Amino acid sequence: MSALIWLIGILVFVFVSVLLLEIVWEAPKGRLAEVGSGEAVSGYRKALAALDKPVSLYMPKGILRKTAANLYWAQIAGKWTGWNEVQFVSLQVATAAGAFVAGTIVFGGNLLLSGAAGLIGWQYPTLSLNGTARRTRRTFQGQLPEFIQLVAARVAAGNSLENALIKTAAAPGLAGQWMRRVVQRSQGRDLLEQLGLEAAESQMPELIGMATQLRFIKRGAAQQQLMGQLAVSIAADYITQADQRAEKLGAELVTPMVLFYFLPFLGAIMFVIGYPIVTGLF
């Protein structure tokens, strides 16, 4: 009976937690979208501001850097607009503390279950952010080779490297959108310098390498040939990464298949075979 009570308590807690997080914290829907845009519910930002200084001082820098990179790509996709890494980690701290307190109330002071609730509260905003950032990165990486090929074609047609980048920025897709962002932010500054800054902010190795190579190409004499080589190199790197992800996916599927298919199937067979034998013995 006590086990049933615990099970009901856990299910109720999970249901209430998911319901609250879906309504309040999921980006970019509902009230959190208003928080990100600075409209109507700025009180949430003010409340979280009390945590910003401790978070910036004591939170490991690796967590802040990773969060900053994920926010960069999520904001490219139009999600979590207006948030920085310190504010987001403050949100994680607040949701973890709230979930821990709720878990303490629901589970009657059981620290293990309350800690698990706090961990769920910490991870939920991260899962929302990381999922958006991962999808945006992969979409961008898939479009980048074609974008560079278009730039190389314009350079081969006689355009300067900067003009080729500016003209190709009008292309549809995420890569064109990113380049338009670079062009808009480069007012009064060298375009390739701004591209390097954006690449560093994105923390994407492909972009950082591309920005470095573009600076060398600008200084070189055979720009057309070098741009062609860069386009081929980026396309080859993307194909290699796609193959590696496909191979890794097969290995990652082994564990879920064993846990959720093979073991239950084996258990069902053992039960069917073993139950008559056990009942016959006793």
Question: What is the Cα 154 distance to its own chain's centre?
Answer: 33
Write the pLDDT tens digit of every residue in 170-205.
988 999 999 999 999 888 788 999 999 999 999 999
Whether 274 shows a pLDDT value over 70: the answer reads: yes
Whether 39 shows a pLDDT value over 70: the answer reads: no
- Find, among 126, 96, 117, the residue nearest to 15 by Cα: 117
**Residue 112 banded pLDDT, cuts 50, 70, 90:** confident
Q: Which two tokens stand for residue 236?
A: 């080859």
> What is the per-residue pLDDT for 72?
94
Residue 21 to residue 23: CA distance in whole angstroms: 5
> What is the per-residue pLDDT for 140?
92
Whether 38 shows a pLDDT value over 90: the answer reads: no
* Mean pLDDT computed over every residue of the chain: 79
Cα within 13 Å of Cα(231), Cβ side? 17
Whether 65 shows a pLDDT value over 90: the answer reads: yes
Torsion of CA 59, 15, 134, 142, to 10 degrees: -170
Cα within 13 Å of Cα(169), Cβ side? 17
DSSP 81: T
Residue 146 to residue 107: CA distance in whole angstroms: 55
> What is the per-residue pLDDT for 268?
78
Write the pLDDT tens digit of every residue in 14-33.
555 544 444 444 443 433 33
The residue ranges of DSSP E strands in 145-234, in sequence order, are none
